[in-house]
Chains A and B, each alone.
Chain A
Amino acid sequence: MTTEPDVRVEDKLYQNRYRVDSGRSHIKVTPHETPSPELLALVKLCPARCYELNGKGQVEVAHDGCMECGTCRVLAEGKGDITWTYPRGGYGVLFKFG
């Protein structure tokens, strides 16, 4: 088994341009007691590390660094673990190069 290098995703996202729609998250996690396997998987899978476990073992989302890839929607919207939409026009990630 190869060990993976440590990566600070925050440093990577710092290079990016965003126009954050503060207080209006385009992604919401459905309140839950214990997270589904899909929600738990997102903690590792989201490329911007938007999903985190809180102290009570529930999954929370912070949309600031989201790159709107849609991975979490593909994985977790189907069974209602999250609701997902695009940010308002002009908001969200703004790729300089893409």
Chain B
Amino acid sequence: MTEKFDAIVVGAGMAGNAAALTMAKRGLKVLQLERGEYPGSKNVQGAILYANAVEKLIPEFREDAPLERHLVEQRFWMMDDASHTGLHYRSEDFNEERPNRYTIIRSQFDRWFSRHVQEAGALVLCETTVLELLKDTKGRVIGVRTDRRDGDVFADVVVLAEGVNGLLGTRAGLRERPARENVALAVKEMHFLPRETIEARFNLKGDEGAVIEAAGTISRGMAGMGFIYTNRESISIGIGCIVSDLAKTGHAPYELLEAFKRHPSVAPLIEGSEVKEYAAHLIPEGGYKAIPQLFGDGWLVAGDAAQLNNAIHREGSNLALASGQMAGEAVAELKGRGLEPTAKNLEIYKTRLVDSYVMQDLKKYKDMPALLHASSQNFFLTYPQLVSKAMQNFLRVDGTPKVEKEKRTLRSVFAARSITGLLGDAVRMARAWR
């Protein structure tokens, strides 16, 4: 290919599609490269989709996007081996005309999204792995090398939307490989059931959906979370733990998933289902402090490749969509003003990110990943067990006076964790949440 493009986008996931769509709509000549057979064939998500980020790109997306269920109920579970203590929130307000959160199936959603990108005029090439970035003698990125024959392609700017592994950026020396403390390995299965069964088990009607986020002894003291999301005719179930913790403890991810599935609170929800897929993927969880350099001469990075992921709120796809859109807008703006995409000029991309919820949210929780990681035994093992004990003690009616029961609960708390330890964790948590 000898023609030159205004922009090359690497990756047809959330960030890449947002960037390509934004630039193509603004009339730029865009080439998008995706290594999968079709967009989405390499991508894994829970998956909760936040409407707000999609609306900003495709306002009428509800008309034809492959959406599974709109969420009317959220459950948080703190689990020990035999129990869960739940906080459930359900509201009729979520049955609104333009619902705020949906479940989706990524391979279907990405294909739908890509059709919009192509209709906007971008050239999308799948089955093409980008091998490296091409630079001129001054180190400015001028294109990419692909694994196609005559595979060098050139552009004014390259938008790296290559996902969490970010191989190209590492190879080109733009950023480090993700650190093992900063990524979680998640494994996930798709369990199929008739929709009526799902609706009965989760107390849903029509296209209503419910999701469960679970933490506790299921991660065996490692920093980790489980999830159970309802789709129309399937249930997504998975668990993720920080890679350095897995390496240290030697727990196999599929064993953790299996134990989660067999937990007495979980097993009845998926009983009798047919499993049709098993997937694994990394999630960036280092937060604000793990964000690498975001732009340079002739390049920008968006989405998971830039580690833009809010693990506390389980938001990744929206940050990928928003950052992809802002990257696209930055490039289009420079083009419109006749300015070169130099590092200096591309700084407007970072400014946009900093002015938005993307960076502001990540900054708010900047100390959270380290805290949860350093005290993972307490947050994911000791405290869930204590809560369960306290609940049992509270609920069991066995002739013990209530005053004695309360004393017992307190004694078990202090036996497990000193008062200074407890207070310290509480203070650190409050600070990290601020």
Q: Do A and B bind each other?
A: yes
Residues of A near any B CB (own CB < 8 A): 2, 4-5, 7, 9, 12-13, 15-16, 19, 38, 41, 44-45, 47-49, 67-71, 73-75, 77-78, 85-90, 92-98
Whether B254 lies near A90 (C-beta < 8 A) is: no
Whether A74 lies near B177 (C-beta < 8 A) is: yes
Offer 10 A-B interface pairs, CB within 8 angstroms, sorted by A.
A4-B256, A12-B189, A16-B277, A38-B247, A41-B246, A71-B185, A74-B178, A88-B147, A97-B234, A98-B42
Can you name the residue of chain B whose Cβ is closest to the Cβ of A65?
A: B278
Residues of B near any A CB (own CB < 8 A): 35-37, 40-45, 47, 81, 105-108, 110, 126-129, 146-148, 164-165, 167, 177-180, 183, 185, 187, 189-190, 217, 220, 234, 243, 246-247, 250-259, 262, 275-282
Whether B280 lies near A47 (C-beta < 8 A) is: yes
A49 to B253, alpha carbons, bound, how many Å?
10
Whether B167 lies near A2 (C-beta < 8 A) is: no
Can you name the residue of chain A whose Cβ is closest to the Cβ of B33?
A: A89
Whether A4 lies near B259 (C-beta < 8 A) is: yes
Can you name the residue of chain B whose Cβ is closest to the Cβ of A93?
A: B42
A95 to B36, alpha carbons, bound, how many Å?
9
Q: Which of B110, B220, B254 contacts A12 (CB 8 A)?
A: B254
- Which label, helix, strand, loop or mixed, suits the secondary structure of the B interface? mixed
Question: What's the nearest-Cβ distance from chain B to residue A13, in Å?
Answer: 6
Contacts of A69 in B (CB 8 A): 185, 280-282
A2 to B35, alpha carbons, bound, how many Å?
40
Whether A41 lies near B250 (C-beta < 8 A) is: yes
Can you name the residue of chain B whose Cβ is closest to the Cβ of A38?
A: B247
Contacts of A4 in B (CB 8 A): 251-252, 255-256, 258-259
Contacts of A5 in B (CB 8 A): 255, 258-259, 262
| Shortest 7 CB-CB contacts between residues of A and residues of B | A90-B127, A98-B106, A47-B280, A4-B255, A12-B278, A89-B127, A70-B165
A87 to B255, alpha carbons, bound, how many Å?
27
Whether A89 lies near B43 (C-beta < 8 A) is: no
Can you name the residue of chain B whose Cβ is closest to the Cβ of A14?
A: B278
Contacts of A97 in B (CB 8 A): 105-108, 190, 234, 276-277, 279
Asked, given contacts A45-B185, A86-B129, A88-B147, whether A95 binds B44 with beta carbons under 8 Å apart, the answer is: yes
Q: Which of B44, B177, B246 contacts A98 (CB 8 A)?
A: B44
